[in-house]
Amino acid sequence: MNPRQTPPGQYAQVNGLNLYYELHGNGMPLVLLHGGGSTIETSYGRILPQLAATRMVIAIELQAHGHTQDIDRPLSFEQDADDVAALLGQLQIERADIMGFSNGGTTSLQIAIRHPRLVNKLVLASTTYRRDGLQAGFFDGFGGATLEMMPQPYKEAYLKANPDPKGLQAMFDRDVARMVAFRDIPDPAIRGIGAASLVINADQEVVTVEHALALSRLLPNARLAILPGGHGEYLGDICFPDAQLPMLVTGMISAFLNR
């Protein structure tokens, strides 16, 4: 057993990666995918217990994030999607609801594109599918990006899961490189997603409201919710300890999934 592992966490060998995941609750499977630079705790710590009250939550820490250490292979949204699909295959789960926040939302889109039979419904929180969907100037700062720019709660959460400063630096470098290399997902690929989808966005965050609206209109079967706040505030992201919306949002997500 890995000395950092604490119940209910466990590991699965998928595509050469020792992938960390947690199982909570019972019922229809719901996969949770965190944002960039994040862990299960930072993205979903506030709302996971409520979601697990009616679902079997499968919360995953993707390559180089949290308990899942980096390996020598490219990191991409497509690779993350294939890793999630491989894990669900090992767990003998044929179909699941998929929820992703930020980078996890982009991975969720790739799961729906690359492995459509696995997807029942999608919850796409602050999700990017085009570079121009991010606030003006977002990509300008990556050339001089340093680990010191990462919010302190994110750094502390990573080191809590994996007390290795080199791993923290690797995660940061991987996420920066992935965003620099990010290319638009073609509109026809989004239009080809048949799963019912809930698109959620905040009104004062890095993903523009206009982008969320465009995504909701491009998806064939989508609903849209725009909420007040910053990036991840409506989910109770660790950078927003006083957020008041997470319980409301959890109820909205559950109602969508159960409909």
pLDDT tens digits along 132-148 = 999 998 988 787 899 99
Is the pLDDT at 1 greater than 50, yes or no? no
103 domain-assigned: yes
Give the pair of three-digit tokens for residue 92: 């003998």
CA proximity to 37, closest of 207, 184, 239, 243: 239
Mean pLDDT of the chain: 95
Residue 3 lies in a domain: no
**Domain harbouring 248, CATH code:** 3.40.50.1820
Mean pLDDT of 153-172: 96
**Does 152 reside within a domain?**
yes
Residue 150 lies in a domain: yes
Tell me if 50 is assigned to some domain.
Answer: yes
Residue 1 lies in a domain: no
Number of domains in the chain: 1
In a domain, 14, yes or no: yes
Taking CA atoms, 8 is separated from 5, 126, 235, 236, 259, in Å, by 8, 27, 22, 21, 29
Please state, in angstroms and rounded to a whole number, the distance separating the CA atoms of residues 247 and 47: 7
Instruction: Over range 81-93, report the average pLDDT.
Output: 98
The reported pLDDT for the residue numbered 143 is 78
pLDDT reading at 53 higher than 90: yes
> Which pLDDT tens digit goes with each residue over 102-120?
999 999 999 999 999 999 9
Q: Which domain holds residue 146?
A: 9-258
Domain presence at residue 4? no
- Does the structure show a pLDDT above 70 at 93? yes
